[in-house]
Structure 1
Amino acid sequence: MAATAEQGRKGQARRNDTVILEAAREVFLDDPKAPIAAVADRAGVGISALYRRYAGKEDLLRTLCHDGLKRFSQEADDAGRAHEDGWAALRAFLEGVVDADVHSLTVHLAGTFTPTEEMRADAVAANGLVEALVERAHGSGRLRRDFTAADVGLVLEACAAIRLPDRDRTAQLRRRYLGLTLDGMDRTDTGALPGPAPVPGEFNYRWRTSR
């Protein structure tokens, strides 16, 4: 009986954590400056339950974005394994990340917390996965040669910037404009892109906190 009760408490704790993170995502995407109490209210838990899991708002933001980074890497890994064709793998990855809405966190929460060394290491690994997908897509002959791995982040951020009150409509429009972008990435368009590609690390400044 004691073991069953302990399992029940752990299960409830996991459910509470999921609810808190989902609430935090909604709250902070609407307003990155919202107080942590707004997350507790949205989650329907007491503030003490939230503080038992997170030391404060920054810790919660860090966890939220780290989870997003892990999802990003998982989408890249899954797409790479699922598709032998490099163009199909890159396309599936971009669609998966857009559908998961991972980059809304980047757009809204960059610079609101200090990343950990683990997060930095995971970001380097994620970049490696993207570089591999882009290299494979180039090898397929479909991806235009002047498209680089550094372009991927901005493509995803552009899709994430589309945000309407209606979630279904938001998803439709994000897929629509990703489709237009993918058409432009295809080598059937032989015109040169205007301006140079982003430089790796060019946007890292956004993750520095103001403190």
Structure 2
Amino acid sequence: MPKQTETADQPRLPGRKAQAARNDALILDAARAVFLTDPTAPIAAVADRAGVGISALYRRYPSKEVLLRTLCHEGLRRFNAEADAALEDPDGWRGFVGFLRRVVEADVHSLTVRLAGTFTPDESIVPDVQHSAEVGDELVRRATASGRLRSGVNATDIGLILEACAAVATPDPVRTAELRQRVLALLVDGLTADGELPGPPPAAGEFAWRWEHKP
């Protein structure tokens, strides 16, 4: 998750609010590290890694469920922000490939791979889910219109490609990042190939079942 920095357009927060914002960033960074390693880890492990008191964590996130929900929602917002930025590129194919590279670098889809089904999403995420579907469809439409993207590919195919990259993991984070980009490059080449794809494309909502909480 990108760290926020102060700019001339962002007034400095007063002391307590600034500390709360720093604690929140520490907690979310720690939660990502802890729960991607072990989704069953207790919330106390997050407080320990973040270096904050458990009471400070509970004031912001009253349960593990809320913390997991926030973590995945932040990942979706990052995905949407990268997609929106890609749509600003007048070259549909270049914008599409750049989007894939940035999302893989941000490791957004590890959250889906590891955390889907570990909590119950609430209604607050629905607008961002809808926006994700809209921008994903538009990115694919523009890439297809460029003449570079093979026929029969849809936005859910792209989600599966991003999850496949997220599944690549080694003990070395730098090597993991290199291998994920390598796999993505191979898959992008496949997106430009000729020939029919086996089976029908993924249907809208076909993988939504994964987000049903399984206690």
TM-score by length of 1: 0.94
Paired with 1:84 and 1:121, the residues of 2 have a C-alpha distance of: 26
Gaps of 5+ in 1: 1-5
Select which of 65, 84, 98 maps to 2:90: 84
Unaligned runs of 5+ in 2: 1-12
The match for 2:145 is: 139
Q: How do 1:1-211 residues align onto structure 2 when only pairs under 5 Å count?
A: 7-81=14-88, 83-186=89-192, 189-211=193-215
Q: What secondary structure is seen at the aligned counterpart in 2 of 1:97?
A: helix
Aligned counterparts of 2:74 and 2:199: Cα–Cα separation in 1: 33
Deviations 1:138-171 (CA, angstroms, capped at 9, x unpaired)? 1000000111111011000000001111111000
The offset of 1:115, in angstroms, is 1.0
Say what the alpha-carbon RMSD is for the aligned residues: 1.0
User: 2:132, 2:53 → 1: CA distance?
Assistant: 35
Task: Give the drift of 1:174.
Answer: 0.3
For 2:25 and 2:35, how far apart are their aligned partners in 1? 15
1:28 maps to a residue whose letter is F
Q: Give the Cα separation in 2 of the matches to 1:150 and 1:159.
A: 14
Tell me, what secondary structure is at the counterpart of 1:63? Answer: helix
How many Å apart are 1:210 and its aligned residue?
Answer: 2.1
Residues 166-208 of structure 1: CA distance to partner in whole angstroms, max 9, x if unpaired? 111000000000000000001xx21211222111111000111
How far, CA to CA, are the matches of 2:56 and 2:156 in structure 1?
A: 40
The structure with the greater share of residues assigned to helix is 1
> C-alpha deviations, 1:66-107, integer Å up to 9, x for none?
0000000000001111x2111111101111110000000000
Count of residue correspondences: 203
SS in structure 1 at match of 2:14: helix
Matched residue type, 2:114:
H
SS of match in other structure, 1:147? coil
Shift in Å, 1:121: 2.0
CA distance in 2, matches of 1:63, 1:20: 11
SS state of the match for residue 125, structure 1?
helix
Q: Deviations over 1:82-137 (max 9, x none)?
A: x2111111101111110000000000010111112121221111110010010001
* Equivalent residue letter for 1:73: N
Counterpart AA for 2:42: P
> Which SS does the other structure have where 1:172 is aligned?
helix
Q: Percent identity?
A: 60
Measure the CA separation in 2 of the matches of 1:141 and 1:58. 44
Counterpart CA distance in 2 for 1:118 and 1:145 is 35
Q: Which runs of 4+ in 1 moved over 6 A?
A: none
Distance in 2 between the 1:48 and 1:150 partners? 40
